[in-house]
Amino acid sequence: MAARYESAPTPNPPGYALGEKLGAGSYGTVYKARLIPTSQSRPSSALATRPTFYAVKCISRKALTKTTPDILINEIKLLKHIKHENIVEMYDFSWDENYIYIVMEYCAGGDMSMFIRSRQRLSEARARPFVQQIARVLRFLYEKRISHMDLKPENILLTSIDRPVLKVADFGVAQHIGKRGSRSIRGTLLYMAPEILSSRPYDNRVDLWSIGVILHECLFGRPPFTSSSVDELVAEIKSDNPIEIPNDVKISSDCRNLLEGLLQRDPDRRISFRDFFRHPFICIDLSSQIARADEYFQRSLHYEQSGNLKKALDYQVKALDEYVAIIKVDEDDNRRRTIRTKVKQGLATAEVLKRRIREMNSPPATTATIPTPPSENLDLRNDKELSEAYQRCLNGNQLMNVHRYGQACEEYQMGLSVMLRARKTETDPDKSKILHNVISFYLSKAEQCKAKNDAQQLDIDMAKIQEDSALDNTMLDDSRTKSATQQNCCLQ
């Protein structure tokens, strides 16, 4: 007797009529759809701006795995709160007994993968605006501390074929990555950064690697890795061998420089977000960056006038950082000259602010020293967690002594969080008092450490700005000398 198979029910999203099938993913099928007009529908400005067609993702509830609900909830939650011209917009979501429906913006041009395959590879001139649009999304996400975690051509949609606007989609595995990093394996292997496959925590620089793989695929028609099996692909990604950029396609030095910076296996050697956003291959219109620098400068003046010198210095450094970056890529000599003057004056102002802050924070000569904590009375023998927490605070002391303030702050934070929990549950008043004294001591140490870390980071930022500014002046002098030499030659 032949086996009988029950056919899957037809998706029926409320208020929408489904049309052609656009594609299928690991946990849903996407259809083109249109809104069904009803007798209750009345013309309004809101409805007038709604599009004619939509893309509706239909997820079978029977096919849900243990992790799929988390992915769906994550995507819906993120798309509800992030709006950007280069991110696919979510209009609605609903469900019935068979399906969950996500109603999204319809992109008539298909995805970037199809676009590349139809042309085999893209010229640098064609690839550049694509990467610039992805960079705009990445800046938006970076400022919100969100990592996409699955950037790939299939997740980048095109509004049309002629003059396409890119729309980044599929935020199902996107996440906020804190200071401690993440260890979860997320994304698509071919576009996955090497550090995700390691046992060490990683941060949002994994998205920069993915953009490097996408750019490589645009320019050369293939990603950096091609393997016949998953194991071989994993081995290639985790290899220590540097990525070789092919020479069979002519690309500009700016393009090659960016590609090499993005495809660094070691995230510490990979191009930083700041340098990526400012890279000549990415940055064209400087008006928004100049406006942002001017705004930082005005905020600095405002905070200085109101007496908040710390905020004033923070914004002064931010303004200087932006101005120096503009000088590097600006081709307008007059504007560069004006901005260079601002940098010179800003550096002098920042040094004055630093000195005033240090004078304010210098402790009076009569200030009493913080007593040593009564750690000898703290019984750690039968409490492994508390013992480890106390050891973290001792580690913080050692790191502070060698001026590694950032790491010291992390050690104090982890140790103190455990101690504070322990004190809340401690019923013995004597032990509670000892814990209180130890916590108070290390809270003071942690505050000192944070202040020193902020000052150290500020010095590093200032030194970098001064170095960049000095280098720019040297290059300017060289160009003037070269120009004068050329002029003399012409006159002769």
For residue 383, the SS3 value is coil
Q: Is 172 exposed, middle or buried (0-12, 13-18, 19+ CB in 10 A)?
A: buried
Nearest to 19 by CA among 8, 7, 35: 35
Angle, helix 309-329 to helix 333-361, in steps of 10 degrees:
160
Angle, helix 405-425 to helix 384-401, in steps of 10 degrees:
150
The CA distance from 166 to 156, in Å, is: 6
Nearest to 258 by CA among 314, 289, 290, 214: 214
DSSP 307-319: T-HHHHHHHHHHH
Nearest to 147 by CA among 155, 137, 156: 137
Q: Count the Cβ atoms, other than its own, within 10 Å of residue 223.
A: 16
The CA distance from 473 to 78, in Å, is: 45
Q: Count the Cβ atoms, other than its own, within 10 Å of residue 346.
A: 24
Q: Catalytic: 150?
A: yes
The CA distance from 156 to 213, in Å, is: 14
DSSP 110-151: -BHHHHHHHHSS--HHHHHHHHHHHHHHHHHHHHTTEE-S--
Q: Is 437 exposed, middle or buried (0-12, 13-18, 19+ CB in 10 A)?
A: middle
Q: Are residues 326 and 343 in contact, defined by beta-carbon separation less than 8 angstroms?
A: no
Angle formed at CA 214 by CA 164 and CA 218, multiple of 5 degrees:
65
- Please list the residues that pair with 60 across neighbouring strands: 99
Catalytic residue among 111, 150, 207, 468: 150
Nearest to 371 by CA among 466, 440, 429: 440
Active site residues: 150
